[in-house]
Structure 1
Amino acid sequence: MKNLITILCIALSINLTMAQTYHFPEESGEHEGTWLQWPHQHQHGITYRNRVEQTWVDMTKALQTNEKVHIIAYNETEKQRIINILEKAKVALKNVDFKIYPTDDVWIRDNGPIFVKDINGNILIENWGFNGWGEKYDFERCDKIPSKIGKDLGIKVIELGEKMVNEGGSVETDGNGVLMACKSSVISQEKEAIRNLGMTQGEAEDMFKKYYGVSKVIWLDGVTGLDVTDMHIDGFMKFVNHNTMLTMKDDDLLELGLSESDVEKLYSATNTKGKEYQKVYVPATKNKVKTAYGKQLEDKGSYVNYYVANKVVLVPNYGDVNDKIANAIIQKQYPDRKVIGIDVRNLYENGGMIHCVTQQQPAGKLLK
């Protein structure tokens, strides 16, 4: 009898542990739709808006044929303006809907909802706190977006902001138990780039294991202060599947700012079975990026910051000779999807690319 009670207690403990663990589905899994925060003039002005919003038109056009596109507009006036722009561009609106929420900016990968599944496969939202990449920019409006989406969808929201800030672009998962991140954008304690003051590496790992459903966390050091994000992983590395990562050759990585030790850690990373990931390499742009309106920027562009949707893969393009080469390499990794190059030259001036401004909602039943 005593042994039976012990077994039941162990089983109950396991069940309770499982009940408290969530799973972040692979980006390449089936989507219900994609969320976009449309650029507006209320934070950075009309010139900024006009320069970047063609990227949103192109993304919406590419995505709406195979999944929903949920567009967040600043207000009703902006909503109507966006509709007019899309209609003028001959973008079908059947699969496009709108939510009216004031935002600070466009980076929904970092401030938006993290859609996860519970042990029964039901979908809910994790609302990790967002603090403008260490309070570098205004963030109060964007920080509220996950809760607002949850309320409108009538879906359960797990509020994690009091425990940890976490930008979606700062982590990458292989869909099979591994998460990779840079310490610089997750647990930096350096002035003007603070993330999660006082949080230890172990405490961050515990949060990721519970709320992303992973069993292994691989850390790169990253670089604090190199850019606004303090080096997000999605700028130079992406898991294609459980066994394969797509990244760049060491010369390009070093030019982007990675240290030699981080390059070695990246290349030698292993999955949960201890097997080193196969590497697929894409080049950076051959030349430093020049905006569509002629401004010469100081950096080359990355193609790794792409977005995998239901039937298409949206790849950042720069009007560079390597666009075609990178598109072809990525196309080989997703033979059942069509690669579409999206011009991000003007967006890149502001520090981001395609993955930075998209957020997937997996297909499935919502947990009310």
Structure 2
Amino acid sequence: MTYRLLPEWYPQDGIQLTWPRPDGDWAPLLARIEATLERIVIATARYQHVLICVPDELTKQRLVDTFHAYGVPAECLQLIVAPTDDTWARDHGPIIVVDEDGQLLLLDYTFTGWGGKFPAERDNLLTQWLADAGAWACPVSSRDLVLEGGGIETDGEGTLLTTEACLLNPNRNPSLSREDVEARLGEDFGVDRVLWLANGHLEGDDTDSHIDTLARFCNPSTIAYVRCDDPNDPHFPALAAMEKELQAFRQRNGEPYQLIPLPWPQACFDPEDGHRLPATYANFLIINQAVLVPTYGDPADITALHALAVAFPEHTLIPIECVSVIRQHGSLHCLTMQLPQGTLAATAIC
């Protein structure tokens, strides 16, 4: 059976979120991150459903009441109590493919907390937990490959965009060569081209240069990417080299990609210990008829929205303030996983 990895702009049933545990890493910022997640839910529920994994029944009932008060239709939400470690649904959520007959398959990859940096045992079991809870309308297939959703981008037409620093990192699959990884990606995703970026990183990023922090497909011929325009910034050399790599990439027809540079926000630093935080506008989320865009209270926010309006002329752009999110070294896209049309069971869709 041949499968194809679906691009993010494929029609969606909804998105998946994982609500923070009150005793987890978000505890010092719990009210702030919950406010951000609430904004994501309210914005998304205008267009599609939201599946939320919650840590306990008390949180579930509180969120039911909260979203009712905000006017979010109850039928747009599905809340399921499940044990979790953290909130990064992009990396512990399912990666979904489709076969020639249009049947979906949820691929459940091994999640190790970005190469063993953080606890991930519960998050690694979450996709199967949701299957047992009746959330999915299609089967789940486990994979022993260590892979996170934020580490890959596809055009939906057989091309994958990724970074060497992540997928070839020995903290993921140390026994696999580049050729081995490409073979596994080809088998699972139906891709026959892998575009590898050798350059690009963000300080404060725990993921070893996930592609969704650096460069994103907006459609099969367009890539939006972060550009550093400050020669004095330590990111400048690597991101300039990444830009040259993107300029050298070619579409399947031999044409260069339309490249849309995203602006460089002013440096953000953690207020407690002063380390730099990974603010990036590439971490946007495509949903049905809209694109949610992370913002940071920075003058470059408006420039980023204008740039992405060019990339998504038929979508509504919705800014989501993510200053609190980068305090835990991720952003908007990292918190979410899109669920293509046909993923959610009827009971989940309501």
- Counterpart of 2:268 in structure 1 is 289
Paired letter, 1:288: A
Q: How does 1:90-239 map to 2 (within 5 A)?
A: 90-151=71-132, 152=134, 153=136, 155-160=138-143, 162=144, 164-189=145-170, 194-222=171-199, 227-239=205-217
2:198 and 2:172 map into 1 onto residues whose CA distance is 14
Do the aligned partners of 1:116 and 1:212 also contact (CA within 8 Å) in 2?
A: yes
2:206 and 2:278 map into 1 onto residues whose CA distance is 16
2:53 and 2:344 map into 1 onto residues whose CA distance is 20
Q: CA RMSD in A?
A: 2.4
The structure that is strand-richer by fraction is: 2
1:322 paired with 2:300, answer: yes
Q: How does 1:49-60 map to 2 (within 5 A)?
A: 49-60=30-41
- Counterpart of 2:348 in structure 1 is none
Q: Are residues 342 and 294 of structure 1, via their aligned partners in 2, closer, same or farther at CA, if it must alter by over 3 Å?
A: farther
Do the aligned partners of 2:269 and 2:277 also contact (CA within 8 Å) in 1?
A: no
Q: Are residues 122 and 210 of structure 1, via their aligned partners in 2, closer, same or farther at CA, if it must alter by over 3 Å?
A: same
Q: Are residues 360 and 300 of structure 1, via their aligned partners in 2, closer, same or farther at CA, if it must alter by over 3 Å?
A: closer
1:80 and 1:36 map into 2 onto residues whose CA distance is 16
SS of residue paired to 2:267? coil
1:31 paired with 2:12, answer: yes
Paired letter, 1:308: I
- Counterpart of 2:326 in structure 1 is 348
In the TM superposition, residue 110 of structure 1 has moved relative to its aligned partner by: 0.7
Post-superposition CA distance 1:281-331 (Å, at most 9, x none): 12021x22367x899662462111100000211000011111112112212
Q: Are residues 28 and 254 of structure 1, via their aligned partners in 2, closer, same or farther at CA, if it must alter by over 3 Å?
A: farther
SS of residue paired to 1:23? strand
How many residues matched? Answer: 340
1:273 and 1:45 map into 2 onto residues whose CA distance is 46
Structure 1 runs (4+) deviating above 6 angstroms are: 293-296
- Counterpart of 2:249 in structure 1 is 269
Q: Are residues 302 and 225 of structure 1, via their aligned partners in 2, closer, same or farther at CA, if it must alter by over 3 Å?
A: closer
In the TM superposition, residue 154 of structure 1 has moved relative to its aligned partner by: 5.2
In the TM superposition, residue 68 of structure 1 has moved relative to its aligned partner by: 0.7
Q: Are residues 141 and 257 of structure 1, via their aligned partners in 2, closer, same or farther at CA, if it must alter by over 3 Å?
A: farther
2:65 and 2:123 map into 1 onto residues whose CA distance is 25
Q: Which one has the largest radius of gyration? A: 1
Paired letter, 1:212: F
Q: Are residues 283 and 262 of structure 1, via their aligned partners in 2, closer, same or farther at CA, if it must alter by over 3 Å?
A: closer
Q: Which stretch shows the higher mean deviation, 173-182 or 83-92?
A: 83-92
2:284 and 2:165 map into 1 onto residues whose CA distance is 22
Paired letter, 1:233: I
In the TM superposition, residue 264 of structure 1 has moved relative to its aligned partner by: 2.3
Unaligned runs of 5+ in 1: 1-18
Post-superposition CA distance 1:201-257 (Å, at most 9, x none): 011101111212211001123579953101111111011111111113354697277
Do the aligned partners of 1:290 and 1:345 also contact (CA within 8 Å) in 2?
A: no
2:235 and 2:68 map into 1 onto residues whose CA distance is 41
- Counterpart of 2:227 in structure 1 is 249
1:359 and 1:301 map into 2 onto residues whose CA distance is 19
Q: Which stretch shows the higher mean deviation, 357-366 or 305-314?
A: 357-366
Q: How does 1:3-14 map to 2 (within 5 A)?
A: none
Q: Are residues 352 and 365 of structure 1, via their aligned partners in 2, closer, same or farther at CA, if it must alter by over 3 Å?
A: closer
Paired letter, 1:351: H
2:152 and 2:56 map into 1 onto residues whose CA distance is 31
Do the aligned partners of 1:185 and 1:232 also contact (CA within 8 Å) in 2?
A: yes
Paired letter, 1:87: H
SS of residue paired to 2:110? coil
Paired letter, 2:267: K
2:67 and 2:191 map into 1 onto residues whose CA distance is 39
In the TM superposition, residue 146 of structure 1 has moved relative to its aligned partner by: 1.6
Paired letter, 2:249: A
1:312 paired with 2:293, answer: no
Q: 1:85 aligns with which of 60, 66, 71?
A: 66
Do the aligned partners of 2:278 and 2:329 also contact (CA within 8 Å) in 1?
A: no
Do the aligned partners of 1:222 and 1:230 also contact (CA within 8 Å) in 2?
A: no
SS of residue paired to 1:141? helix
2:210 and 2:27 map into 1 onto residues whose CA distance is 28
Paired letter, 2:250: T
Percent identical: 29
Q: Are residues 235 and 118 of structure 1, via their aligned partners in 2, closer, same or farther at CA, if it must alter by over 3 Å?
A: same
2:236 and 2:154 map into 1 onto residues whose CA distance is 21
TM-score by length of 2: 0.90
